[in-house]
Structure 1
């Protein structure tokens, strides 16, 4: 424990930099995945054929370990943040896509019919009725994706993408238990903290 305290006292600024890098690449990956998965999920909710193709492809990629995807991307994209961002985005797309599609597909038809009966057009129906009703289930998929991405972002350091993984890989290379504890515990705390924070954000929403 003393070694851990010594690390923070001597490397506090470096730890903060790596933590921010970890959060940054995770946030970017979730943003990219959301831009792709949310509109596609809405489209899939009314087109079963598109859903089978759209859900199946990233789900197959998801079975491949993230480290294997990173190694595959290095010859194409080089090292650094970009290949890590692509790999993490691939990881985040399936849960976001599946939950969004399911959320919009299972909207209560009686509520939609009542809204149409009140004279709501497609655009107003979508923004004022469908989105609020579908949001909780769709957001649950985003929350799952966020938890997985934050945990997997440690691998970004393997190809020079920064983040808390640098501490873990350095600790492995130097056989330093203090660094392994600092890096491992930080990720282990950050991942559920993000999930909990998103849950509270959802609960406090309108």
Structure 2
């Protein structure tokens, strides 16, 4: 009897030890995984992707805004407001003070967009609200200073609807991404040009389907498959 009790006690002790070790191992496995980073080594980031994710909370708001039929912007007016293709847009309205910048004035309308009673239209959204010195790049349209008309060419404007790799495939991005990290600024909401207004602003991972058109391709001539024999 005493021998049988000893065997049962040993079995119970081993069972408890097994449960304890398994429980410890299980909870150790629940710790967050991490990648050790060497000292003085830069942390990799994707700056050209960050803007659109930071603005993604407004995606559905842009989708639900009514289209302003009377003040819609078009591609033509979009580029007419620029000195040349790729240039910052000029300021098409009066500016209260030459020293007004960023959050004190411009960003009140252009940070998140929306309808402005003063101009009876929707304000375009800036793709880079963190750059508050707006007048460093953006200037008024009309000026009486030393600027004179020239024969400067504005350059070739990307065509809409012809920059798809295949019929039905997502269009490529025909411009650089620097200072244009927030895709929703130009492609979503009632202030977006109607020709490039996206129908799915809630899909905020734009670069999952759209890629920049910055690759130089060369004609390889007639492709001939080599004989496999």
Which TM-score tier does this pair reach, normalised by the shorter chain? under 0.3
| TM-score when normalising by structure 1 | 0.28
| TM-score when normalising by structure 2 | 0.26
Higher helix share: 1
Query: Which structure has the greater CA radius of gyration?
Result: 2
